[in-house]
Amino acid sequence: MAGSLNKVQLIGRLGADPEIKQMVNGKSVARLSIATSQSWKDKSSGERKEKTEWHRVVIFNEGLVNVVQQYVKKGANIYVEGQLSTRKWKDEATGQDKYSTEIVLQGYNSSLTMLDSKNSGNNSNLVSDNKSSLPNDNLNQDSSDLDDEIPF
């Protein structure tokens, strides 16, 4: 194959508070459970139907993990962009192989946007892996403050 693309974009709500854990190497990882829903009108009954999908999101970037830990809570509406990854492990109890497919946020091609931040007056906050070294106070910067830095 000449080229390929592995990119996932989701907008959904967190079903639980983020789970933050320490890895063996001492770095933190965040795990999120995001719900996305689609709704439609049933043609035969005219009844409104809805289907919800649950997605596992794993964040390895230290900067994004810190932002998630401080600002993202159950019920938050967020946008995530990352890669689809399936990992395999052995179930210790049964010895059977188990699989888990997750959206992984790691590297420069991933981002997290808080769509309904209650901690600021903004409608959205963007945090990308390649911008994760910014101090937290820059995350809630009013968009009108940005005009002062435009050189033209």
Token pair 């101090």: residue: 135
Q: What average pLDDT does the segment 81-94 reach?
A: 92
pLDDT in tens, 12-44: 999 999 999 999 998 999 999 999 999 999 999
Q: What average pLDDT does the segment 58-80 reach?
A: 93
8-41+48-149, CATH topology level: OB fold (Dihydrolipoamide Acetyltransferase, E2P) (2.40.50)
Helix, strand or coil, per DSSP, at residue 143? helix
pTM, whole model, 2 decimals?
A: 0.71
Cβ 68 vs Cβ 18: under 8 Å: yes
Residue ranges per domain, the chain?
Answer: 8-41+48-149
Token pair 């001492």: residue: 26
